[in-house]
Protein backbone atom coordinates (compact mmCIF):
# COMPACT_ATOMS: atom_id res chain seq x y z
CA UNK A 1 0.00 0.00 0.00
CA UNK A 2 2.74 2.48 0.94
CA UNK A 3 5.58 3.59 -1.34
CA UNK A 4 8.42 1.11 -1.12
CA UNK A 5 10.78 2.13 -3.91
CA UNK A 6 11.96 5.19 -2.06
CA UNK A 7 15.52 6.35 -1.60
CA UNK A 8 15.75 8.89 1.23
CA UNK A 9 17.45 12.27 0.90
CA UNK A 10 17.76 12.68 4.68
CA UNK A 11 21.30 11.82 5.72
CA UNK A 12 22.53 11.62 2.11
CA UNK A 13 24.03 15.11 2.12
CA UNK A 14 22.45 15.55 -1.31
CA UNK A 15 19.05 15.13 -3.00
CA UNK A 16 16.86 12.35 -4.39
CA UNK A 17 14.34 12.75 -7.25
CA UNK A 18 10.73 11.85 -6.41
CA UNK A 19 9.97 8.99 -8.79
CA UNK A 20 6.83 7.67 -7.15
CA UNK A 21 4.10 9.50 -5.21
CA UNK A 22 5.17 10.27 -1.64
CA UNK A 23 1.77 9.16 -0.35
CA UNK A 24 0.34 6.41 -2.58
CA UNK A 25 3.48 5.15 -4.33
CA UNK A 26 2.05 5.52 -7.86
CA UNK A 27 4.53 6.23 -10.65
CA UNK A 28 1.89 8.14 -12.63
CA UNK A 29 3.38 11.55 -11.86
CA UNK A 30 2.80 14.43 -14.30
CA UNK A 31 5.10 17.45 -14.25
CA UNK A 32 2.79 20.46 -13.97
CA UNK A 33 5.30 23.27 -13.54
CA UNK A 34 9.04 23.73 -13.66
CA UNK A 35 10.58 26.77 -11.99
CA UNK A 36 14.04 25.72 -13.15
CA UNK A 37 17.01 25.30 -10.82
CA UNK A 38 16.92 27.13 -7.48
CA UNK A 39 19.39 27.77 -4.68
CA UNK A 40 18.34 26.65 -1.17
CA UNK A 41 16.29 29.56 0.26
CA UNK A 42 18.45 29.85 3.36
CA UNK A 43 21.74 29.91 1.53
CA UNK A 44 22.64 33.60 1.86
CA UNK A 45 26.26 34.70 1.52
CA UNK A 46 27.64 37.83 3.21
CA UNK A 47 27.55 41.04 1.15
CA UNK A 48 30.84 41.56 -0.64
CA UNK A 49 32.05 37.98 -0.38
CA UNK A 50 33.74 36.71 -3.53
CA UNK A 51 31.14 34.48 -5.25
CA UNK A 52 31.87 30.77 -4.89
CA UNK A 53 30.20 27.68 -6.30
CA UNK A 54 26.85 26.74 -4.77
CA UNK A 55 24.44 23.85 -5.22
CA UNK A 56 21.19 24.57 -7.11
CA UNK A 57 18.33 22.09 -7.21
CA UNK A 58 15.64 21.41 -9.84
CA UNK A 59 12.30 22.81 -8.65
CA UNK A 60 9.38 21.04 -10.29
CA UNK A 61 5.81 20.39 -9.19
CA UNK A 62 4.37 16.95 -9.86
CA UNK A 63 0.73 15.84 -9.86
CA UNK A 64 -0.09 12.26 -8.87
CA UNK A 65 -2.73 11.01 -11.29
CA UNK A 66 -3.68 8.27 -8.84
CA UNK A 67 -4.33 10.24 -5.61
CA UNK A 68 -4.19 13.91 -6.80
CA UNK A 69 -1.37 14.84 -4.39
CA UNK A 70 0.70 17.76 -5.70
CA UNK A 71 4.32 17.38 -4.65
CA UNK A 72 7.84 18.62 -5.24
CA UNK A 73 9.88 16.59 -7.74
CA UNK A 74 12.97 16.48 -5.53
CA UNK A 75 13.69 15.74 -1.88
CA UNK A 76 16.75 17.57 -0.52
CA UNK A 77 18.61 16.52 2.63
CA UNK A 78 17.26 18.66 5.53
CA UNK A 79 20.86 19.42 6.52
CA UNK A 80 21.10 21.55 3.35
CA UNK A 81 17.72 23.30 3.57
CA UNK A 82 17.58 23.91 7.33
CA UNK A 83 21.05 25.23 8.17
CA UNK A 84 21.42 25.79 11.94
CA UNK A 85 22.56 29.41 11.48
CA UNK A 86 19.09 30.57 10.33
CA UNK A 87 16.72 29.34 13.02
CA UNK A 88 13.13 30.16 12.09
CA UNK A 89 11.08 31.05 15.15
CA UNK A 90 7.30 30.94 14.82
CA UNK A 91 6.78 33.32 17.76
CA UNK A 92 8.00 36.30 15.76
CA UNK A 93 5.03 36.75 13.41
CA UNK A 94 1.86 38.35 14.80
CA UNK A 95 -0.40 36.61 12.30
CA UNK A 96 0.96 33.21 13.38
CA UNK A 97 0.77 34.03 17.09
CA UNK A 98 -2.88 35.03 16.69
CA UNK A 99 -3.59 31.88 14.69
CA UNK A 100 -2.11 29.61 17.37
CA UNK A 101 -4.19 31.32 20.06
CA UNK A 102 -7.24 30.70 17.88
CA UNK A 103 -6.28 27.05 17.41
CA UNK A 104 -6.19 26.56 21.19
CA UNK A 105 -9.52 28.36 21.75
CA UNK A 106 -11.27 26.47 18.97
CA UNK A 107 -9.98 23.00 19.86
CA UNK A 108 -10.33 23.37 23.65
CA UNK A 109 -13.99 24.38 23.22
CA UNK A 110 -14.77 21.76 20.58
CA UNK A 111 -13.10 18.86 22.42
CA UNK A 112 -13.83 20.01 25.98
CA UNK A 113 -10.17 19.91 27.03
CA UNK A 114 -9.35 19.93 30.77
CA UNK A 115 -6.24 19.92 32.95
CA UNK A 116 -5.97 16.14 32.52
CA UNK A 117 -5.47 16.37 28.77
CA UNK A 118 -2.01 16.09 27.24
CA UNK A 119 -1.28 18.10 24.08
CA UNK A 120 1.80 17.09 22.04
CA UNK A 121 3.08 19.39 19.30
CA UNK A 122 5.32 17.96 16.58
CA UNK A 123 7.81 20.44 15.15
CA UNK A 124 7.03 22.60 18.18
CA UNK A 125 9.62 25.26 17.29
CA UNK A 126 9.96 27.87 20.07
CA UNK A 127 6.86 26.60 21.89
CA UNK A 128 4.53 29.39 20.73
CA UNK A 129 1.61 27.08 19.92
CA UNK A 130 1.96 25.06 23.13
CA UNK A 131 2.22 28.17 25.31
CA UNK A 132 -1.47 28.77 24.47
CA UNK A 133 -2.45 25.29 25.68
CA UNK A 134 -0.32 25.76 28.78
CA UNK A 135 -2.17 28.99 29.56
CA UNK A 136 -5.41 27.11 28.87
CA UNK A 137 -4.47 24.66 31.63
CA UNK A 138 -3.57 21.61 29.52
CA UNK A 139 -0.46 19.48 29.97
CA UNK A 140 1.96 20.14 27.10
CA UNK A 141 4.94 18.49 25.45
CA UNK A 142 6.91 19.67 22.43
CA UNK A 143 9.05 17.68 20.02
CA UNK A 144 11.58 19.77 18.12
CA UNK A 145 14.87 18.51 16.67
CA UNK A 146 16.63 21.87 16.24
CA UNK A 147 18.23 24.19 18.80
CA UNK A 148 15.09 26.37 18.69
CA UNK A 149 13.71 23.78 21.15
CA UNK A 150 16.01 25.32 23.81
CA UNK A 151 14.00 28.56 23.63
CA UNK A 152 10.85 26.56 24.44
CA UNK A 153 12.49 24.70 27.32
CA UNK A 154 13.78 27.98 28.75
CA UNK A 155 10.28 29.47 28.74
CA UNK A 156 8.83 26.47 30.55
CA UNK A 157 7.46 24.45 27.64
CA UNK A 158 8.94 20.94 28.09
CA UNK A 159 10.46 19.99 24.75
CA UNK A 160 12.17 16.81 23.55
CA UNK A 161 14.98 17.64 21.13
CA UNK A 162 14.62 14.70 18.74
CA UNK A 163 13.40 13.95 15.22
CA UNK A 164 9.85 12.63 15.54
CA UNK A 165 9.05 9.02 14.57
CA UNK A 166 7.39 5.90 15.90
CA UNK A 167 10.19 5.27 18.39
CA UNK A 168 9.87 8.73 19.97
CA UNK A 169 6.08 8.30 19.96
CA UNK A 170 6.35 5.06 21.98
CA UNK A 171 8.70 6.71 24.48
CA UNK A 172 6.36 9.68 24.91
CA UNK A 173 3.37 7.40 25.48
CA UNK A 174 5.25 5.23 27.99
CA UNK A 175 6.42 8.23 29.97
CA UNK A 176 3.50 10.68 29.72
CA UNK A 177 0.52 8.48 28.77
CA UNK A 178 -1.50 8.77 25.55
CA UNK A 179 -2.21 12.23 24.14
CA UNK A 180 -5.67 13.77 23.84
CA UNK A 181 -4.44 16.07 21.09
CA UNK A 182 -1.47 15.92 18.73
CA UNK A 183 -0.77 19.01 16.65
CA UNK A 184 1.49 19.55 13.62
CA UNK A 185 1.44 23.11 12.34
CA UNK A 186 3.14 23.68 9.04
CA UNK A 187 5.71 20.90 9.42
CA UNK A 188 3.47 18.21 7.98
CA UNK A 189 4.54 19.11 4.44
CA UNK A 190 8.23 19.32 5.33
CA UNK A 191 9.04 15.83 6.57
CA UNK A 192 10.19 13.33 3.97
CA UNK A 193 8.78 10.08 5.37
CA UNK A 194 5.22 11.21 5.96
CA UNK A 195 3.91 7.69 6.67
CA UNK A 196 6.32 7.22 9.58
CA UNK A 197 5.08 10.52 11.02
CA UNK A 198 1.41 9.53 10.80
CA UNK A 199 2.21 6.10 12.31
CA UNK A 200 3.89 7.88 15.22
CA UNK A 201 0.90 10.20 15.67
CA UNK A 202 -1.57 7.29 15.75
CA UNK A 203 0.70 5.52 18.25
CA UNK A 204 0.54 8.48 20.66
CA UNK A 205 -3.20 9.22 20.41
CA UNK A 206 -5.81 8.13 22.97
CA UNK A 207 -8.63 6.03 21.50
CA UNK A 208 -10.72 9.17 21.04
CA UNK A 209 -7.66 11.44 20.66
CA UNK A 210 -7.54 14.08 17.94
CA UNK A 211 -4.85 15.01 15.44
CA UNK A 212 -4.92 18.64 14.28
CA UNK A 213 -2.76 19.64 11.32
CA UNK A 214 -2.23 23.00 9.69
CA UNK A 215 -0.84 23.07 6.17
CA UNK A 216 -0.47 25.54 3.34
CA UNK A 217 -3.54 25.00 1.13
CA UNK A 218 -3.06 23.85 -2.45
CA UNK A 219 -6.31 25.35 -3.72
CA UNK A 220 -5.49 28.77 -2.24
CA UNK A 221 -2.01 28.49 -3.70
CA UNK A 222 -3.49 27.90 -7.16
CA UNK A 223 -6.18 30.60 -6.82
CA UNK A 224 -3.73 33.35 -5.85
CA UNK A 225 -0.84 32.10 -7.99
CA UNK A 226 1.49 31.52 -5.06
CA UNK A 227 4.17 29.70 -7.03
CA UNK A 228 6.61 31.57 -4.78
CA UNK A 229 5.77 29.18 -1.92
CA UNK A 230 7.28 26.37 -4.00
CA UNK A 231 10.74 25.66 -2.57
CA UNK A 232 12.58 22.69 -1.21
CA UNK A 233 11.28 22.82 2.37
CA UNK A 234 7.77 22.20 1.03
CA UNK A 235 7.64 18.63 -0.21
CA UNK A 236 3.85 18.34 -0.44
CA UNK A 237 0.99 20.78 -1.23
CA UNK A 238 -2.17 19.42 0.36
CA UNK A 239 -5.82 19.73 -0.51
CA UNK A 240 -8.38 18.46 2.00
CA UNK A 241 -8.88 15.48 -0.34
CA UNK A 242 -5.20 14.49 -0.51
CA UNK A 243 -4.73 14.96 3.24
CA UNK A 244 -7.86 12.88 3.91
CA UNK A 245 -6.53 10.16 1.64
CA UNK A 246 -3.19 10.07 3.46
CA UNK A 247 -4.78 9.96 6.93
CA UNK A 248 -7.26 7.25 5.88
CA UNK A 249 -4.34 5.00 4.96
CA UNK A 250 -3.59 5.00 8.70
CA UNK A 251 -7.15 4.49 9.96
CA UNK A 252 -7.79 8.17 10.69
CA UNK A 253 -10.94 10.00 9.63
CA UNK A 254 -11.11 13.74 8.93
CA UNK A 255 -14.05 15.15 10.90
CA UNK A 256 -13.57 18.91 10.58
CA UNK A 257 -11.68 21.15 8.15
CA UNK A 258 -11.56 24.88 7.62
CA UNK A 259 -9.50 27.55 5.89
CA UNK A 260 -7.21 29.77 8.02
CA UNK A 261 -5.21 32.86 6.93
CA UNK A 262 -1.64 31.69 7.80
CA UNK A 263 1.04 31.94 5.09
CA UNK A 264 -1.34 33.46 2.54
CA UNK A 265 -3.94 30.67 2.85
CA UNK A 266 -3.80 27.44 4.88
CA UNK A 267 -6.13 24.71 6.13
CA UNK A 268 -6.73 23.42 9.65
CA UNK A 269 -7.81 19.78 9.56
CA UNK A 270 -9.07 17.68 12.50
CA UNK A 271 -8.85 13.87 12.39
CA UNK A 272 -9.53 11.00 14.80
CA UNK A 273 -9.74 7.21 14.61
CA UNK A 274 -12.51 6.12 12.22
CA UNK A 275 -15.90 6.42 13.93
CA UNK A 276 -14.56 8.11 17.07
CA UNK A 277 -16.04 11.53 16.29
CA UNK A 278 -19.07 12.69 14.27
CA UNK A 279 -18.01 14.08 10.88
CA UNK A 280 -19.02 17.72 10.44
CA UNK A 281 -20.50 19.26 7.29
CA UNK A 282 -17.37 21.39 6.87
CA UNK A 283 -15.50 18.38 5.42
CA UNK A 284 -17.95 17.66 2.60
CA UNK A 285 -18.23 21.40 1.89
CA UNK A 286 -14.49 21.84 1.44
CA UNK A 287 -14.15 18.63 -0.59
CA UNK A 288 -16.94 19.71 -2.93
CA UNK A 289 -15.04 22.89 -3.80
CA UNK A 290 -11.83 21.05 -4.75
CA UNK A 291 -11.13 19.85 -8.31
CA UNK A 292 -10.31 16.14 -8.69
CA UNK A 293 -8.80 13.95 -11.40
CA UNK A 294 -9.12 15.50 -14.88
CA UNK A 295 -10.47 18.74 -13.40
CA UNK A 296 -7.37 19.01 -11.20
CA UNK A 297 -5.09 18.31 -14.18
CA UNK A 298 -6.83 21.11 -16.10
CA UNK A 299 -6.63 23.46 -13.08
CA UNK A 300 -2.90 22.81 -12.81
CA UNK A 301 -2.35 23.42 -16.53
CA UNK A 302 -4.13 26.79 -16.17
CA UNK A 303 -1.96 27.54 -13.13
CA UNK A 304 1.21 26.91 -15.14
CA UNK A 305 0.05 29.27 -17.93
CA UNK A 306 -0.81 31.97 -15.38
CA UNK A 307 2.52 31.62 -13.57
CA UNK A 308 4.44 32.10 -16.81
CA UNK A 309 2.29 35.14 -17.70
CA UNK A 310 2.79 36.64 -14.25
CA UNK A 311 6.57 36.43 -14.65
CA UNK A 312 6.39 38.20 -18.01
CA UNK A 313 4.00 40.86 -16.63
CA UNK A 314 6.22 41.62 -13.65
CA UNK A 315 9.24 41.93 -15.91
CA UNK A 316 7.29 44.22 -18.29
CA UNK A 317 6.28 46.45 -15.38
CA UNK A 318 9.84 46.67 -14.05
CA UNK A 319 11.20 47.29 -17.55
CA UNK A 320 8.85 50.26 -17.93
CA UNK A 321 10.05 51.68 -14.62
CA UNK A 322 13.71 51.12 -15.43
CA UNK A 323 13.39 52.80 -18.81
CA UNK A 324 12.15 55.91 -16.99
CA UNK A 325 15.23 55.74 -14.78
CA UNK A 326 13.42 54.60 -11.63
CA UNK A 327 15.30 53.15 -8.68
CA UNK A 328 13.63 49.99 -7.35
CA UNK A 329 13.99 48.39 -3.92
CA UNK A 330 12.46 45.27 -2.44
CA UNK A 331 10.51 44.94 0.81
CA UNK A 332 11.35 41.94 3.04
CA UNK A 333 13.19 38.73 2.30
CA UNK A 334 11.01 35.77 3.34
CA UNK A 335 11.89 32.35 1.94
CA UNK A 336 9.29 32.80 -0.78
CA UNK A 337 11.16 35.88 -2.09
CA UNK A 338 14.02 33.61 -3.09
CA UNK A 339 11.78 31.63 -5.43
CA UNK A 340 10.34 34.78 -6.99
CA UNK A 341 13.67 36.53 -7.45
CA UNK A 342 15.29 33.50 -9.05
CA UNK A 343 12.34 32.38 -11.17
CA UNK A 344 11.65 35.87 -12.55
CA UNK A 345 15.36 36.57 -12.95
CA UNK A 346 15.68 39.66 -10.75
CA UNK A 347 19.23 40.73 -9.90
CA UNK A 348 21.11 43.63 -8.33
CA UNK A 349 20.88 45.53 -11.62
CA UNK A 350 17.08 45.60 -11.30
CA UNK A 351 16.50 45.57 -7.52
CA UNK A 352 19.04 47.84 -5.77
CA UNK A 353 18.52 46.25 -2.35
CA UNK A 354 15.96 44.47 -0.20
CA UNK A 355 15.09 45.79 3.26
CA UNK A 356 14.37 43.78 6.38
CA UNK A 357 13.27 45.01 9.83
CA UNK A 358 16.15 45.82 12.20
CA UNK A 359 17.36 42.71 14.01
CA UNK A 360 16.72 40.34 11.08
CA UNK A 361 19.51 37.76 10.69
CA UNK A 362 19.28 38.26 6.93
CA UNK A 363 20.65 41.82 7.04
CA UNK A 364 24.22 41.91 5.72
CA UNK A 365 23.64 38.92 3.44
CA UNK A 366 22.66 38.65 -0.21
CA UNK A 367 19.35 37.30 -1.52
CA UNK A 368 19.89 33.60 -2.35
CA UNK A 369 21.39 33.03 -5.79
CA UNK A 370 21.96 36.75 -6.40
CA UNK A 371 24.07 39.68 -5.29
CA UNK A 372 21.07 41.76 -4.19
CA UNK A 373 22.04 43.01 -0.71
CA UNK A 374 19.65 42.74 2.22
CA UNK A 375 19.89 45.89 4.37
CA UNK A 376 18.22 47.53 7.37
CA UNK A 377 14.77 49.00 6.69
CA UNK A 378 16.05 52.46 7.71
CA UNK A 379 17.78 52.66 4.31
CA UNK A 380 14.41 52.77 2.55
CA UNK A 381 13.28 55.90 4.38
CA UNK A 382 16.61 57.73 3.96
CA UNK A 383 17.09 56.74 0.34
CA UNK A 384 13.44 57.09 -0.84
CA UNK A 385 13.74 54.95 -4.02
CA UNK A 386 11.03 55.58 -6.63
CA UNK A 387 9.36 52.25 -5.98
CA UNK A 388 9.54 49.09 -3.93
CA UNK A 389 8.37 45.56 -4.68
CA UNK A 390 6.73 43.90 -1.65
CA UNK A 391 8.04 40.33 -1.66
CA UNK A 392 5.88 39.40 1.34
CA UNK A 393 2.92 40.50 -0.78
CA UNK A 394 0.56 38.11 1.02
CA UNK A 395 0.65 40.50 4.01
CA UNK A 396 0.77 43.70 1.92
CA UNK A 397 -2.45 44.99 3.53
CA UNK A 398 -0.67 44.98 6.87
CA UNK A 399 2.70 46.23 5.56
CA UNK A 400 1.80 49.05 3.15
CA UNK A 401 0.15 51.39 5.73
CA UNK A 402 3.09 50.83 8.11
CA UNK A 403 5.65 51.71 5.43
CA UNK A 404 3.73 54.88 4.53
CA UNK A 405 3.32 55.83 8.20
CA UNK A 406 7.08 55.47 8.65
CA UNK A 407 7.61 57.93 5.80
CA UNK A 408 8.11 55.98 2.57
CA UNK A 409 6.91 58.17 -0.30
CA UNK A 410 7.60 55.94 -3.32
CA UNK A 411 5.28 53.58 -5.19
CA UNK A 412 4.55 50.21 -3.63
CA UNK A 413 4.20 47.24 -5.97
CA UNK A 414 2.70 43.83 -5.21
CA UNK A 415 4.04 41.20 -7.63
CA UNK A 416 1.25 38.60 -7.25
CA UNK A 417 -1.38 37.45 -8.14
CA UNK A 418 -1.19 40.25 -10.76
CA UNK A 419 1.63 42.82 -10.59
CA UNK A 420 0.13 46.16 -9.60
CA UNK A 421 0.88 49.50 -7.99
CA UNK A 422 -0.92 49.88 -4.66
| Span near Zn ion by CB under 5 A; candidates 16-24, 138-146, 164-172, 183-191 | 16-24
Give min distance, CB of 75 to Zn ion, in A. 15
Between 2 and 163, name the residue whose CB sits nearer to Zn ion. Answer: 2
Binding mask 29-58 for Zn ion (x = CB under 5 A): ------------------------------
Q: Which stretch binds Zn ion (CB under 5 A): 5-13, 21-29, 135-143, 316-324?
A: 21-29
61-80 binders of Zn ion (CB under 5 A): 64, 66-67, 69
Helix axis angle, 293-323 to 335-344, nearest 10°? 70
Distance of closest approach, residue 256 Cβ to Zn ion, in angstroms: 24
Among 9, 24, 129, 396, indicate the residue that binds Zn ion (CB under 5 A): 24
What backbone phi and psi angles, to 5 degrees, belong to 343? -70, -45
* CB half-sphere exposure, 265, CA atoms < 13 A: 17
Instruction: Compute how many residues bind Zn ion; rule: CB under 5 A.
Output: 8
Tell me the torsion sign for CA atoms 316, 317, 318, 323. positive
State the Cα–Cα distance between residues 64 and 85, nearest whole angstrom.
35
The contact mask relative to Zn ion for 133-172 (x = CB under 5 A, - = no) is ----------------------------------------
Q: Give the chain's count of helices (H) and strands (E).
A: 13, 19
Closest to Zn ion by CB, 24 vs 328, is 24
Site for Zn ion in 233-292 (CB under 5 A): none
Query: Does residue number 371 form part of the binding site for Zn ion (CB under 5 A)?
Result: no
**Nearer of residues 66 and 93 to Zn ion, judged by Cβ:** 66
Could you write out the three-class secondary structure of 163-203? CCCHHHHHHHHHHHCCEEEEEEECCCCCCCCHHHHHHHHHH
Report in angstroms the alpha-carbon separations of 247 from 31, 152, 201, 211, 379. Answer: 25, 29, 10, 10, 48
Q: How many Cα atoms occupy the beta-carbon half-sphere of 391 within 13 Å?
A: 26
Contact with Zn ion (CB under 5 A): which of 9, 18, 21, 337? 21
CB of 376 to Zn ion, least distance (A): 45
Question: Which residues on neighbouring strands pair with residue 38, listed in sequence order?
Answer: 57
Shortest Å distance, C-beta 248 to Zn ion:
13
**Contacting residues toward Zn ion, per CB under 5 A:** 21, 23-24, 26, 64, 66-67, 69
Amino acid sequence: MFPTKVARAAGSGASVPVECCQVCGSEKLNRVLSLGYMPPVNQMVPIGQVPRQQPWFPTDLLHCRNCDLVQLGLAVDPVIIFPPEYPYTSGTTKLLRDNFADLQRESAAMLGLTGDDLVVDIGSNDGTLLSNFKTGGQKVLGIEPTDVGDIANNRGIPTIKRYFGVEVAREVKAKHGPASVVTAANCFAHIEDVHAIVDGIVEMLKDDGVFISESHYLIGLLDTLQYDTVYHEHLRYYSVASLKHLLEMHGLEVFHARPIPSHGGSIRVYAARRGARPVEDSVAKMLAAEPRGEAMAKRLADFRRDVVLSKLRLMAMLRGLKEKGARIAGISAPSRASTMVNYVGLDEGIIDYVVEIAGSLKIGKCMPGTQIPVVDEARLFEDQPDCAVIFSWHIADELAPKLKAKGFRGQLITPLPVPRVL
